[in-house]
């Protein structure tokens, strides 16, 4: 039986990201315009999801050329690392003339979009992880074992983080690249924190999350260093 439930997660992520972009636009988002940011965001997201889906299929031994329908059918999900790299590369290309402004402008919305993506688990009964006796733990249909709603945890943490980045941009005016760096580091950190609660079906992609954290911290460090040099008298 074909499952197109991956599309629900895509829709949830897109709607959340869209909402954040236009919500921030009314609060002085430091970017060119909400419509422009949305175009960049949706272009990068589509490219990332498509590329990550192809990578997951190939890793599972499925030929995309002979099984094109599997691109939108949930079997192996989306490969996190390739999806993120392709999305970032696409964004860098599309926004190459105003890259720093766009990265900071889209930072909070991107984290919120990831929250929507994770929350999409609610539409396909894919939220649960390792066993738990916590009061809010849930059981799969036909099972008596209650489990962590790990995808909901990730969605909540990412949504809070997206709101925090948006608040900082509106009221603290951080230096260039700091919002982007914080968003990237937080996205990786949330996945690292929640990864142990996910079912260990195979080797996890933790290395990609560490790379995200390191990349985000590097952007923050570069921004701080650049600001310090700019304020130092020649």
Residue 127 in domain: yes
Least confident residue range of 31-40, 151-160, 193-202: 31-40
pLDDT at position 181: 97
Residue 74 has pLDDT above 90, yes or no: no
Q: What is the mean pLDDT of residues 123-132?
A: 88
- pTM for the full model? 0.86
**Number of domains observed in the structure of the chain:** 1
Give the Cα-Cα-Cα angle 10, 185, 188 (nearest 5 degrees): 50
Rounded CA-CA distance 70/84 in Å is 20
pLDDT greater at residue 9 or residue 113: 113
Q: What percent of the chain has pLDDT over 90?
A: 45
* Chain segment 83-104, per-residue pLDDT in tens: 889 999 999 999 888 899 899 9
Q: Which of 55, 45, 107, 110 is nearest to 78 (CA)?
A: 55
Residue 222 in domain: yes
pLDDT at position 81: 83
Residue 126 has pLDDT above 90, yes or no: no
pLDDT at position 183: 96
Rounded CA-CA distance 144/155 in Å is 25
Residue 11 in domain: yes
Residue 133 in domain: yes
Residue 52 in domain: yes
* Chain segment 161-219, per-residue pLDDT in tens: 999 999 998 888 899 999 999 999 999 999 999 999 988 655 567 888 999 999 999 99
pLDDT at position 164: 95
Task: Give me the domain span that covers residue 52.
Answer: 6-231
């Amino acid at each position: 039986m074909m499952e197109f439930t991956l599309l629900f997660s895509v829709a949830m992520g897109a709607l959340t990201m869209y909402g954040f972009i236009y919500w921030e636009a009314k609060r002085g988002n430091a970017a060119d315009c909400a419509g422009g940011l949305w175009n960049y965001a949706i272009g990068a997201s589509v490219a990332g999801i498509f590329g990550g889906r192809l990578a997951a299929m190939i890793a599972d031994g499925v030929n995309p050329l002979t099984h094109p329908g599997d691109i939108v059918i949930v079997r192996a999900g989306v490969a996190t690392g390739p999806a993120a790299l392709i999305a970032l590369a696409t964004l860098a290309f599309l926004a190459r003339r105003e890259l720093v402004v766009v990265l900071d402008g889209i930072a909070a919305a991107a984290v919120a979009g990831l929250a929507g993506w994770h929350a999409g688990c609610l539409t396909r009964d894919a939220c649960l992880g390792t066993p738990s006796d916590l009061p809010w733990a849930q059981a799969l249909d036909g099972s008596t074992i209650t489990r962590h709603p790990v995808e909901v945890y990730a969605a909540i943490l990412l949504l809070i983080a997206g709101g925090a980045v948006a608040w900082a941009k509106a009221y603290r005016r951080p230096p260039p690249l700091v919002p982007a760096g914080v968003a990237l580091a937080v996205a990786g950190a949330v996945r690292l924190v929640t990864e142990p609660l996910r079912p260990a079906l195979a080797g996890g992609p933790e290395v990609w999350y560490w790379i995200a954290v390191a990349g985000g911290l590097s952007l923050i460090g570069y921004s701080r260093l650049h600001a310090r040099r700019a304020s130092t008298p020649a």
